[in-house]
Protein backbone atom coordinates (compact mmCIF):
# COMPACT_ATOMS: atom_id res chain seq x y z
CA UNK A 1 0.00 0.00 0.00
CA UNK A 2 1.25 3.46 -0.92
CA UNK A 3 1.08 5.68 2.18
CA UNK A 4 1.44 9.44 1.84
CA UNK A 5 2.28 12.02 4.49
CA UNK A 6 1.10 15.63 4.39
CA UNK A 7 2.08 18.43 6.79
CA UNK A 8 1.49 22.16 6.81
CA UNK A 9 4.43 24.52 6.42
CA UNK A 10 4.52 25.40 10.12
CA UNK A 11 5.93 21.90 10.74
CA UNK A 12 9.63 22.48 11.37
CA UNK A 13 11.44 19.67 9.60
CA UNK A 14 14.72 19.81 7.65
CA UNK A 15 14.11 20.34 3.94
CA UNK A 16 16.27 17.36 2.96
CA UNK A 17 14.12 15.08 5.15
CA UNK A 18 10.95 16.44 3.54
CA UNK A 19 12.37 15.93 0.05
CA UNK A 20 13.86 12.50 0.72
CA UNK A 21 10.65 11.08 2.15
CA UNK A 22 8.27 12.79 -0.30
CA UNK A 23 6.38 14.66 2.39
CA UNK A 24 3.77 16.98 0.88
CA UNK A 25 3.49 20.55 2.18
CA UNK A 26 0.29 22.54 2.68
CA UNK A 27 1.83 26.01 2.27
CA UNK A 28 0.96 29.14 4.22
CA UNK A 29 1.17 32.60 2.65
CA UNK A 30 2.72 35.44 4.66
CA UNK A 31 1.90 39.06 3.82
CA UNK A 32 3.70 42.00 5.42
CA UNK A 33 2.51 45.25 3.87
CA UNK A 34 3.16 44.73 0.15
CA UNK A 35 5.63 41.85 0.61
CA UNK A 36 4.27 38.35 0.07
CA UNK A 37 6.04 35.05 0.66
CA UNK A 38 4.60 31.55 0.28
CA UNK A 39 6.22 29.20 2.78
CA UNK A 40 7.23 25.90 1.19
CA UNK A 41 9.85 25.11 3.86
CA UNK A 42 12.76 26.62 1.93
CA UNK A 43 15.25 27.74 4.62
CA UNK A 44 17.10 30.17 2.33
CA UNK A 45 13.88 31.94 1.33
CA UNK A 46 12.78 31.96 4.97
CA UNK A 47 16.00 33.59 6.19
CA UNK A 48 15.92 36.15 3.39
CA UNK A 49 12.35 37.12 4.32
CA UNK A 50 13.30 37.18 7.99
CA UNK A 51 16.08 39.69 7.48
CA UNK A 52 14.19 41.88 5.02
CA UNK A 53 10.72 41.92 6.57
CA UNK A 54 9.97 39.87 9.72
CA UNK A 55 12.65 41.35 11.95
CA UNK A 56 11.19 44.85 11.64
CA UNK A 57 7.51 44.43 10.70
CA UNK A 58 6.60 40.82 11.40
CA UNK A 59 4.22 41.64 14.25
CA UNK A 60 1.78 43.11 11.71
CA UNK A 61 1.91 40.16 9.30
CA UNK A 62 -1.15 38.40 7.90
CA UNK A 63 -1.03 34.63 7.43
CA UNK A 64 -3.24 32.68 5.03
CA UNK A 65 -3.29 28.87 5.24
CA UNK A 66 -4.71 26.66 2.48
CA UNK A 67 -8.48 26.92 2.29
CA UNK A 68 -10.87 23.97 2.26
CA UNK A 69 -11.10 24.23 -1.55
CA UNK A 70 -7.34 24.42 -2.03
CA UNK A 71 -6.79 21.31 0.10
CA UNK A 72 -9.58 19.53 -1.80
CA UNK A 73 -8.00 20.44 -5.14
CA UNK A 74 -4.49 19.38 -4.08
CA UNK A 75 -5.72 15.93 -3.12
CA UNK A 76 -7.80 15.38 -6.24
CA UNK A 77 -5.12 16.65 -8.61
CA UNK A 78 -2.31 14.61 -7.14
CA UNK A 79 -2.63 12.68 -3.90
CA UNK A 80 -5.59 10.41 -4.67
CA UNK A 81 -3.59 9.21 -7.68
CA UNK A 82 -0.17 8.92 -6.06
CA UNK A 83 -1.27 7.22 -2.81
CA UNK A 84 -3.78 4.76 -1.39
CA UNK A 85 -3.85 6.16 2.15
CA UNK A 86 -2.76 9.62 3.28
CA UNK A 87 -2.09 10.99 6.76
CA UNK A 88 -2.54 14.76 6.99
CA UNK A 89 -0.78 15.98 10.15
CA UNK A 90 -1.61 19.54 11.15
CA UNK A 91 -0.58 22.24 13.60
CA UNK A 92 -2.74 22.29 16.73
CA UNK A 93 -6.31 23.33 16.01
CA UNK A 94 -6.22 25.69 19.01
CA UNK A 95 -3.81 27.94 17.09
CA UNK A 96 -4.82 27.59 13.45
CA UNK A 97 -7.80 26.73 11.19
CA UNK A 98 -5.71 24.27 9.16
CA UNK A 99 -7.01 21.17 10.96
CA UNK A 100 -10.62 22.26 10.53
CA UNK A 101 -10.04 23.14 6.86
CA UNK A 102 -8.42 19.76 6.20
CA UNK A 103 -11.17 17.93 8.06
CA UNK A 104 -13.88 19.67 6.03
CA UNK A 105 -12.00 19.04 2.79
CA UNK A 106 -11.62 15.35 3.62
CA UNK A 107 -15.38 14.74 3.38
CA UNK A 108 -15.55 16.11 -0.16
CA UNK A 109 -12.31 14.37 -1.16
CA UNK A 110 -13.65 10.96 -0.12
CA UNK A 111 -16.85 11.64 -2.09
CA UNK A 112 -15.11 12.89 -5.23
CA UNK A 113 -11.98 10.76 -5.69
CA UNK A 114 -13.42 7.67 -7.41
CA UNK A 115 -13.70 8.86 -11.03
CA UNK A 116 -10.28 10.54 -10.86
CA UNK A 117 -8.63 7.47 -9.43
CA UNK A 118 -10.45 5.23 -11.89
CA UNK A 119 -9.28 7.35 -14.83
CA UNK A 120 -5.72 6.78 -13.62
CA UNK A 121 -6.33 3.02 -13.80
CA UNK A 122 -6.80 2.37 -10.10
CA UNK A 123 -10.05 0.80 -8.87
CA UNK A 124 -9.04 0.35 -5.23
CA UNK A 125 -10.37 2.61 -2.43
CA UNK A 126 -8.57 5.72 -1.22
CA UNK A 127 -8.43 6.63 2.48
CA UNK A 128 -7.49 9.83 4.29
CA UNK A 129 -6.97 10.57 7.98
CA UNK A 130 -6.50 14.09 9.35
CA UNK A 131 -4.67 14.16 12.70
CA UNK A 132 -4.25 17.15 14.98
CA UNK A 133 -0.65 17.14 16.24
CA UNK A 134 -1.86 19.15 19.26
CA UNK A 135 1.39 21.07 19.03
CA UNK A 136 3.35 23.57 16.98
CA UNK A 137 6.79 24.52 15.69
CA UNK A 138 9.23 21.58 15.65
CA UNK A 139 6.98 19.64 18.05
CA UNK A 140 4.85 18.96 14.97
CA UNK A 141 7.83 17.14 13.50
CA UNK A 142 7.63 14.24 15.95
CA UNK A 143 4.59 12.74 14.19
CA UNK A 144 5.77 12.79 10.55
CA UNK A 145 9.18 11.43 11.54
CA UNK A 146 7.47 8.52 13.27
CA UNK A 147 5.06 8.06 10.34
CA UNK A 148 8.03 7.76 7.97
CA UNK A 149 9.73 5.26 10.27
CA UNK A 150 6.63 3.08 10.49
CA UNK A 151 5.93 3.33 6.76
CA UNK A 152 9.46 2.23 5.95
CA UNK A 153 9.11 -0.65 8.42
CA UNK A 154 6.12 -1.87 6.39
CA UNK A 155 3.43 -1.10 8.97
CA UNK A 156 -0.16 -0.63 7.78
CA UNK A 157 -2.42 2.43 8.15
CA UNK A 158 -4.26 1.14 11.22
CA UNK A 159 -1.10 0.74 13.28
CA UNK A 160 0.35 4.02 12.03
CA UNK A 161 -2.84 5.90 12.87
CA UNK A 162 -3.02 4.50 16.40
CA UNK A 163 0.63 5.29 17.02
CA UNK A 164 0.39 8.86 15.73
CA UNK A 165 -2.73 9.64 17.74
CA UNK A 166 -1.05 8.26 20.86
CA UNK A 167 2.11 10.29 20.28
CA UNK A 168 0.12 13.49 19.72
CA UNK A 169 -1.07 13.14 23.32
CA UNK A 170 2.51 12.80 24.59
CA UNK A 171 4.48 15.31 22.53
CA UNK A 172 6.06 18.24 24.36
CA UNK A 173 7.37 21.43 22.81
CA UNK A 174 9.48 23.89 24.83
CA UNK A 175 10.31 27.37 23.54
CA UNK A 176 12.44 30.29 24.72
CA UNK A 177 11.43 33.52 22.93
CA UNK A 178 13.98 36.28 22.62
CA UNK A 179 11.78 39.39 22.49
CA UNK A 180 8.73 39.76 24.78
CA UNK A 181 7.79 43.11 23.23
CA UNK A 182 7.52 41.41 19.86
CA UNK A 183 5.26 38.69 21.27
CA UNK A 184 3.07 41.33 22.92
CA UNK A 185 2.76 43.36 19.70
CA UNK A 186 2.07 40.25 17.64
CA UNK A 187 -0.57 39.14 20.11
CA UNK A 188 -2.28 42.53 19.98
CA UNK A 189 -2.34 42.40 16.18
CA UNK A 190 -4.18 39.07 16.45
CA UNK A 191 -6.49 40.22 19.25
CA UNK A 192 -4.63 38.25 21.94
CA UNK A 193 -3.81 40.42 24.97
CA UNK A 194 -2.39 37.65 27.16
CA UNK A 195 1.00 39.44 27.29
CA UNK A 196 0.43 42.94 28.65
CA UNK A 197 2.62 45.97 28.09
CA UNK A 198 3.53 45.93 31.78
CA UNK A 199 4.63 42.28 31.80
CA UNK A 200 6.57 42.73 28.57
CA UNK A 201 8.29 45.85 29.89
CA UNK A 202 9.04 44.25 33.25
CA UNK A 203 10.36 41.06 31.68
CA UNK A 204 12.53 43.08 29.29
CA UNK A 205 13.83 45.39 32.00
CA UNK A 206 14.77 42.49 34.25
CA UNK A 207 15.89 40.34 31.28
CA UNK A 208 13.51 37.57 32.36
CA UNK A 209 12.81 34.97 29.68
CA UNK A 210 9.93 32.49 29.94
CA UNK A 211 10.31 28.86 28.96
CA UNK A 212 7.00 28.09 27.26
CA UNK A 213 5.55 24.57 27.25
CA UNK A 214 3.21 23.42 24.46
CA UNK A 215 1.28 20.24 25.25
CA UNK A 216 -2.09 18.85 24.14
CA UNK A 217 -3.09 22.04 22.40
CA UNK A 218 -2.30 24.36 25.30
CA UNK A 219 0.67 26.67 25.82
CA UNK A 220 1.85 28.14 29.12
CA UNK A 221 4.98 29.06 31.08
CA UNK A 222 7.06 26.22 32.49
CA UNK A 223 9.74 28.45 34.01
CA UNK A 224 11.10 32.00 34.09
CA UNK A 225 14.86 32.45 33.89
CA UNK A 226 17.03 35.55 33.90
CA UNK A 227 18.85 35.99 30.60
CA UNK A 228 18.27 34.47 27.19
CA UNK A 229 21.40 32.33 27.04
CA UNK A 230 20.93 30.96 30.59
CA UNK A 231 17.32 30.10 29.66
CA UNK A 232 18.46 28.28 26.53
CA UNK A 233 21.17 26.46 28.48
CA UNK A 234 18.59 25.37 31.06
CA UNK A 235 16.28 24.18 28.28
CA UNK A 236 19.04 22.16 26.60
CA UNK A 237 20.14 20.66 29.92
CA UNK A 238 16.55 19.71 30.68
CA UNK A 239 16.12 18.14 27.24
CA UNK A 240 19.32 16.13 27.74
CA UNK A 241 17.93 14.81 31.04
CA UNK A 242 14.75 13.70 29.27
CA UNK A 243 16.84 11.94 26.63
CA UNK A 244 18.75 10.07 29.34
CA UNK A 245 15.50 9.20 31.14
CA UNK A 246 14.08 7.75 27.92
CA UNK A 247 11.82 9.12 25.19
CA UNK A 248 8.82 7.48 23.54
CA UNK A 249 10.48 7.76 20.11
CA UNK A 250 14.19 8.02 19.22
CA UNK A 251 13.60 11.57 18.00
CA UNK A 252 14.44 15.05 19.24
CA UNK A 253 13.51 18.10 17.15
CA UNK A 254 15.05 21.57 17.30
CA UNK A 255 14.19 24.76 15.47
CA UNK A 256 15.54 28.28 15.59
CA UNK A 257 14.36 31.64 14.32
CA UNK A 258 17.58 32.41 12.48
CA UNK A 259 20.78 30.85 11.13
CA UNK A 260 21.36 27.35 12.47
CA UNK A 261 25.03 28.11 13.13
CA UNK A 262 23.83 30.53 15.81
CA UNK A 263 21.79 27.75 17.42
CA UNK A 264 24.74 25.37 17.38
CA UNK A 265 26.94 27.92 19.17
CA UNK A 266 24.54 28.32 22.11
CA UNK A 267 25.48 27.06 25.58
CA UNK A 268 24.35 23.52 26.28
CA UNK A 269 23.85 22.60 22.62
CA UNK A 270 26.94 20.38 22.30
CA UNK A 271 26.08 18.47 25.50
CA UNK A 272 22.53 17.89 24.27
CA UNK A 273 23.78 16.52 20.96
CA UNK A 274 26.22 14.27 22.82
CA UNK A 275 23.43 12.91 25.04
CA UNK A 276 21.33 12.18 21.97
CA UNK A 277 24.18 10.37 20.24
CA UNK A 278 24.96 8.31 23.34
CA UNK A 279 21.33 7.20 23.75
CA UNK A 280 20.51 6.57 20.09
CA UNK A 281 18.25 9.59 19.65
CA UNK A 282 18.29 11.22 16.20
CA UNK A 283 18.23 15.02 16.12
CA UNK A 284 16.25 16.91 13.48
CA UNK A 285 17.03 20.60 13.40
CA UNK A 286 15.68 23.25 11.09
CA UNK A 287 15.18 26.94 10.55
CA UNK A 288 11.83 27.90 12.07
CA UNK A 289 8.97 28.35 9.63
CA UNK A 290 7.97 31.81 8.45
CA UNK A 291 4.68 31.48 10.32
CA UNK A 292 6.51 30.48 13.49
CA UNK A 293 8.84 33.46 13.32
CA UNK A 294 5.96 35.80 12.58
CA UNK A 295 4.29 34.64 15.80
CA UNK A 296 7.23 34.44 18.24
CA UNK A 297 9.81 36.67 16.60
CA UNK A 298 13.39 36.37 15.49
CA UNK A 299 15.79 34.26 17.53
CA UNK A 300 13.39 31.96 19.39
CA UNK A 301 14.64 28.47 20.29
CA UNK A 302 12.35 25.41 20.41
CA UNK A 303 13.04 21.82 21.53
CA UNK A 304 10.54 18.98 21.18
CA UNK A 305 10.20 15.28 21.96
CA UNK A 306 7.62 12.67 22.96
CA UNK A 307 7.66 11.52 26.58
CA UNK A 308 5.50 10.69 29.53
CA UNK A 309 4.27 13.56 31.72
CA UNK A 310 7.06 15.29 33.64
CA UNK A 311 8.01 18.53 35.36
CA UNK A 312 10.42 21.09 33.94
CA UNK A 313 13.42 20.94 36.24
What digits encode the pLDDT tens for the residues 14-34? 999 999 999 999 999 998 877
Q: Which residue range forms the structural domain that includes residue 126? A: 3-168
Residue 200 lies in a domain: yes
174 pLDDT more than 90: yes
Bridge partners (DSSP) of residue 7 are 25, 89
Q: What is the 3-state secondary structure (H, E, C) of 203-217?
A: HHHCCEEEEEEEECC
Q: What is the pLDDT of residue 286?
A: 97
Averaged confidence pLDDT in the chain: 92
Percent of the chain past pLDDT 90, that is, above it, reads 76
Q: How far apart are CA 132 and CA 297, in angstroms?
A: 24
pTM of the prediction?
A: 0.93
141, 168, 195 — which closes off a domain?
A: 168
Q: What is the pLDDT of residue 198?
A: 44
- Over residues 270-280, mean pLDDT: 98
Residue 112's region, left for phi above 0, alpha for psi from -120 to 50, else beta, is alpha
Residues 55 and 145 in one domain: yes
Q: What is the pLDDT of residue 184?
A: 72
56 pLDDT more than 70: no
- Centroid of chain to Cα 8: 8
Residues in the chain: 313
Domain total in the chain: 2
Q: Which of the four pLDDT bands, split at 50, 70 and 90, describes residue 82?
A: very high
Q: For residue 204, give the CATH number of its domain.
A: 3.30.1180.10
Residues 130 and 214 in one domain: no
Residue pair 53/35 in contact (Cβ under 8 Å)? The answer is yes
Residues 97 and 232 in one domain: no
Q: What is the pLDDT of residue 270?
A: 98
Q: How far apart are CA 47 and CA 49, in angstroms?
A: 5
Q: What is the pLDDT of residue 207?
A: 84
Residues 160 and 50 in one domain: yes
Could you tell me which residues come within 8 angstroms of residue 23 by beta carbon, excluding any fewer than 6 positions away?
5, 6, 7, 13, 17, 144, 148
Q: Which of the four pLDDT bands, split at 50, 70 and 90, describes residue 203?
A: low
Amino acid sequence: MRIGIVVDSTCDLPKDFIDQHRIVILPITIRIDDAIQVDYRDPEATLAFLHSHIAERGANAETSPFTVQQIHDLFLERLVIDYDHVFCLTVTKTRSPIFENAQKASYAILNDYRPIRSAAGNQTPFALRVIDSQNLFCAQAILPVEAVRLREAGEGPAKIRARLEHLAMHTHGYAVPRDLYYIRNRGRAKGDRSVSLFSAALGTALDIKPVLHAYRGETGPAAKIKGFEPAVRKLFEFAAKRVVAGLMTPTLALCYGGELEELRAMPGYAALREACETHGVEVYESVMSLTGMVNVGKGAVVVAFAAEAHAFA
